[in-house]
Each structure stands twice: as C-alpha cells, then as structure tokens.
Structure 1
Amino acid sequence: MVIRVVVADDQELVRSGFALILDLADGIEVVAEVGDGADAVAAVRAHRADVALLDIRMPGTDGIAACRAITEAGDCRCVMLTTFDSDAYVYDALHAGAAGFLLKDVRRDDLVHAVRVAATGDALLAPTVARRLIAEYVSRPAPGPPAARLDVLTARERETLLHLAHGLSNAEIADRLTVSEHTVKTHVGHVLAKLGLRDRIQAVICAYETGLVTPSP
C-alpha cells in the first residue's frame, strides 16, 4: 500500500526538500505540497492522505489548527515540524491530535521512518524529541496521588502506562515486566481503550496530567 503524504510548510525550500526525500522512498507518495494550514486541510481531504507533515508555525491557519481539523475529520495522522527550542505550542499540538514531532534538521532516513510509523497508527515517541517536549510543556499536575481517572486500570495496566510515559518501547516494557511483547501490546490496547485515548502520545499526556508521572524540574 502506498502511503499518501501532504507536506505543509510556508518555507518553499523546506517543504520541497522534504517532499523530494519522501517521493524517493519506496511506498511513499507526496500528493500535495502546500504553504499554509488551510490548504493542508483541503489537500488531505481531496487526496485522502494518510499522513500530513505540518509545520507548527505557518501564516493564516497554523499547524495546530490544521492538525485539529485533520484529526477530527478522519484517520489521517499528523506529524508536526518544530525547531524545538523556540516552539512553545507543543502542548496544544499534542491535544490537537499530533502523532509526533520531527526537528526541521531531521535526517533523511529518520524522516522516512517517521512517516511510515505514523501511517501504521503508531506515535512517535523518540526520547530525544517527543518525551522531552512532553516533559517541558505538559502542565504540572497538582501534588497528590494519581487522579481517580486511572482507577479503571489494573495494577499491571497502570505499570504499563508508567513505562509508556518514560518513553519505553514495547520490547523494553516486556523486558521490565518479564512478559512477551504480545502481552504488552494487549496491555497497551487496554490502557488506550479504558482511558479513551487515541495513541501512545495521548497516553503519555494522560500520565502527566493525572499525576502518575511528573516532569523533571
């Protein structure tokens, strides 16, 4: 199956460069290159794109608003482009449904990999990007025990959520819990279903918001 991608960035050289890299990759087709969020939303709808690569900062409709509109309208996954140090909108992007983040100086192979991961429905939780962003921008919860929202989870599911919040992969969680990766996938699925979450990134947000995990000072 070919992964259909929309690339949205107001800098022509940036979006053309990303589009060229992705078009050269097997199984990926860039169906549109656009310069603002409104055009990205329209292009995703017109081409039934699987993944939208969105710059957070764009004139007119920005990447966050575009991400929210895209995720609410269908199954297209949104990956945000950020300069990391200067973007103060990560929390909003996560709540808008972003599946992950890429730095604008991302390596060629990592860009291709990120698009393929997003297309499978998974989230991008690379420790060097997403976990640090989440730790910096998610609001600090009030002191006290984890919120009652987590009471629907079993002890093992809560432990799984804790490991997700620390950025561990399924294989790493399986090693920590001394179970199979299949069992971990089952636990993750139960966590998402019980808490009404879309993906692993939303699970991480939930872990911070409920006080199960607190960002490092």
Structure 2
Amino acid sequence: MTVRRAAAQGYLLKSLHPASFHEYLRSLLIEDATLPRELGYQILKQFVTESIPHGEQPILSVMETAVLRNLCRGFKIEEIADRLVIPENKVKLILNDILFKLKLTNRTQLVTYATDNGIFMSKVSLQ
C-alpha cells in the first residue's frame, strides 16, 4: 500500500493580478515557487497594520525621508535616483515601501502626508 501525502504548496488570493497568478502557478509546477511581491504584500499587510499602535505614525528611515522630500519637490523617479545616487528601481521600491508603511495608495497622498506631518515644508506661504 502506497501512502500519498497531500499538502498545500502555496497560497493564492482572489484579488491577485492574473499575470502574477499565471507566473505563480507555473513556478509551482516546476517546484520552484517563490512568493510574488503582490501576494507577499497582501499577506504581510495585516501584520504590519497590527504592529503599529493606534494613533502613532510609523517612522521613516533617512533614505525614505530623502526620497519623499525629493518627490515633494517635484522630481521624477529618474531625477531622484540621480540626486541620491541610487538605481531607479531602488527609488520605486522605497516609494512602494513608504506607501505600504503609511497605508496610502498613491504619490499625491504621499505629498499631502509629508506636508501635513512636517516632513516637507514648501517655501510658498499663503497668508
């Protein structure tokens, strides 16, 4: 008698983008499954939001603050990368990490957050 063991080999969300879904299924078939970034974000999102005490804002690193301030000054990703001497992909990752930390969805919200919380102060003063 042969005993077969069945176990879960992965985790999928209904909201996973179709391209990511296809890539993930293919990696399961070749037994080289890596967790897609989108899926990892969805899984870890709950743990990050639970770890921040109510009413407290997450602390941004020096690099995250620098990227955010440059974004607020109106620089594009390529320009921020040049100014901070880091690859463009790193700037994109940092922006995504900041959005995730602050539970925001877009760059406009980031700029508003930075202005409202004193991370960036515009030189223009409306009196």
Structure-2 residue corresponding to 1:162: 69
1:197 and 2:110 correspond: no
Post-superposition shift, 1:149? Answer: 2.3
Give the greater-gyration-radius structure (CA).
Answer: 2
Distance 1:196 1:166 in 2: 22
Paired AA for residue 149 in structure 1: Q
Structure 1 partner of 2:57: 149
Question: TM-score w.r.t. structure 2 length?
Answer: 0.51
Unaligned runs of 5+ in 2: 1-55
> How far off its partner does 1:155 sit?
1.1
**Higher share of residues assigned helix:** 2
Match of 2:78 in 1: 171
Whose strand proportion is higher, 1 or 2? 1
The residue aligned with 1:104 is: none
Read off the aligned partner of 1:205 and give its amino acid letter: T
Letter in 1 for 2:86: V
**Map of 2:113 onto structure 1:** 206
Q: Match for 1:184: what amino acid?
A: V
Q: CA contact under 8 A between 1:149 and 1:210: conserved in structure 2?
A: no
Task: Quote the Cα distance in structure 2 between the aligned partners of 1:150 and 1:166.
Answer: 22
> What is the identity percentage for the equivalent residue pairs of Structure 1 and Structure 2?
33
- Separation in 1 of the partners of 2:105 and 2:114? 14
State the partner residue of 1:180: 87
Amino acid at match of 1:204: V
For 1:162 and 1:182, locate their aligned partners in 2 and report how far apart those are by CA, in whole Å.
18
Equivalence map 1:108-127=2 (5 Å): none
Superposition RMSD in Å: 1.3
Q: Which has the higher contact order (CA 8 A, sep 6+)?
A: 2
What secondary structure is seen at the aligned counterpart in 2 of 1:149? coil
